[in-house]
Structure 1
């Protein structure tokens, strides 16, 4: 995941990318991977900068733009100067309203509309737009348990559900409408549980996991799994390495063989099968937390057990001389509770991406988790305690 350095004479720029959501889990990896390739210039757009990311990116071909995309006047002012953009990556979303609500749809659609209004009239060089949504494309909140177990995998042609209030659908429809006239190719990528490092992500599993492990170690608490037995013993969601998802975005964006002006949908998942029961002990050991004899507890609720531990996290940050973060910058306990008590399975197939020639794989989600623990340690977001 190294970032390329510009030494010697600077090669002429061939591709210019703008990444909306550059500080998120996949956005950070997109920035790094594009800058490691020759002849790319990258604009990163987000509401707030990630100072930890700046430490790793010292490249004259990168420029960060702070912008509130929900403000149409600010968006036009900040982005109207962009010229010669060839590739647009949309890996952001607005989270103020509940999922599957009309307000959430309207807000996310408005945010993308503002960005497109600022950029599209001023550029003729755009080749590809890459949209990231997720496996929730296939399920609706309140739709209940999905039967089929490991034998049931969602394919990209699975029908829409839930009456159309999933904001993913609104974004796909918007791109289809806005890009059709210019014959611009676009793709949509649907990851499962994204595994990566960021302090600007609402649904941050690795951040939550690592903060939980650090607090357990600090307070000598057992590293319990709190959720339903089905979520403990069966596979409910695919793991999606943030680096792999970023590679798929780039591969689709520059691959003429999968060109589609009507949108090419691709699941973006590791490709292996795992259960929390199989990997929970190894994760606890990696984080140096106490491993209880019985790790599963249906009565343990993360938001209840960890919700009041903000001051404990501050003690850990100070003691270990970590990057100054609040607990909420990394951990989202309500999200973990929802994940481990999810009534519906979101397991998908990556057969289409494989068939089209995308060769990157991450066949061991546990190894992926352990890698991101080490990455967060290197970034000084979590303590160097454990294996």
Structure 2
């Protein structure tokens, strides 16, 4: 573990094994990290996966944030050290009331431990990652009113959303600590532990098509095939979160975080087809012609065979994919695009080429032995 002084910033990344969490740990540990050098603690509900490098953390903590006693037991040993909390974890349920109860309880339990002793707490800033469900609502199959590009001062939608509740929870602690909210788009990164991993979902779909000699059919609509969408590179998201955590001008602000460009699913599909050597098939009409979600429910055995034959890190198709959520995104009736103007005006100028990002993270998933090397 690195030596700690009273001035050392100490980060606790909750959800460290997900796409955003892994990139945060890597970014914080770089010698060039803003505000550094950092001491980095990482936490997750499950044991550390084999692909996670131990050099990225000074300490890995396994605990159940829904259990206040387990949270206190495992975080009390570091509660007087943590200066920055990076909250990049979520649990998803079938209804928003359950999402609100679960996710607000987890964050409340952690904040309680880190702030319970006001005289010894060092917590200065909390980073909250949310997403564009802030603008379109929690039900992707029945997305609410939208008027892209989405911008941060849009009025909240008039129905429950756990993102709103988490934002209000942080604001209620003012002025004990400052906070920042980061609204990502579709996150492109590398992990087998993220609930919503569209890249891994599409990669497994392509590999299953290749194995079965089936065409790589686009499951979305003609509209999304031809119109614009955006994405958030996990590394860029980490950079923005660290920037906001150490920049006075960014305190108590919400920021969109996308790559700064747009893409069409036609272009995205072309790149995936080239990478995995499959035949791309565009949509024929305005509505998807086949039930992709139901079809993929029957492909778990095919993925098991791919894992076994290539000696991959053991995963189950239903645990590493989000076919339902991906299907909803590829059938939106609007362009899924967020404005990055506010972020730029406040001083964060990072950007990423999305199609290059796609290739980079596929290669990273191969290096992590989550996807086959070829």
Structure 1 length-normalised TM? 0.88
2:21 is matched with which residue?
Answer: 27
Whether 1:70 aligns to 2:72 is no
Whether 1:196 aligns to 2:176 is no
Residues 192-271 of structure 1: pairs in structure 2 closer than 5 A: 192-235=185-228, 237-259=229-251, 263-271=252-260
Against the structure 1 CA distance between its residues 223 and 143, is the aligned structure 2 distance closer, same or farther, given a 3 Å change threshold?
A: closer
Residues 1-387 of structure 1: pairs in structure 2 closer than 5 A: 14-37=8-31, 38-54=36-52, 56-58=53-55, 62-82=58-78, 83-98=80-95, 101-122=96-117, 123-140=120-137, 141=139, 142=142, 144=144, 146=146, 152-163=148-159, 165-178=160-173, 180-182=174-176, 184-235=177-228, 237-259=229-251, 263-292=252-281, 294=282, 298-362=288-352, 364-385=353-374
Give the deviation of 1:370 after TM superposition: 1.1
Kept in 1: contact 2:224–2:265 (CA 8 A)? yes
1:3 is matched with which residue?
Answer: none
- 3-state SS of 1:304 partner: helix
Unaligned runs of 5+ in 2: none
Give the deviation of 1:40 after TM superposition: 1.3
- 3-state SS of 2:187 partner: strand
Kept in 1: contact 2:227–2:335 (CA 8 A)? no
- 3-state SS of 2:116 partner: helix
Kept in 1: contact 2:19–2:234 (CA 8 A)? yes
Kept in 2: contact 1:225–1:296 (CA 8 A)? no
- Distance (whole Å) between structure 2 residues aligned to residue 232 and residue 300 of structure 1: 15
1:135-162 residue CA offsets vs partner (Å, 9 max, x unmatched): 111122335564x5xxx31111111003
* Residue-pair matches, total: 361
Unaligned runs of 5+ in 1: 1-5
- Distance (whole Å) between structure 1 residues aligned to residue 284 and residue 355 of structure 2: 18
- 3-state SS of 1:51 partner: coil
Give the deviation of 1:65 after TM superposition: 0.8
Give the deviation of 1:302 after TM superposition: 2.1
- Distance (whole Å) between structure 2 residues aligned to residue 198 and residue 136 of structure 1: 22
Kept in 2: contact 1:137–1:168 (CA 8 A)? yes
1:219-243 residue CA offsets vs partner (Å, 9 max, x unmatched): 11111101122121112x4200011
Kept in 2: contact 1:27–1:91 (CA 8 A)? yes
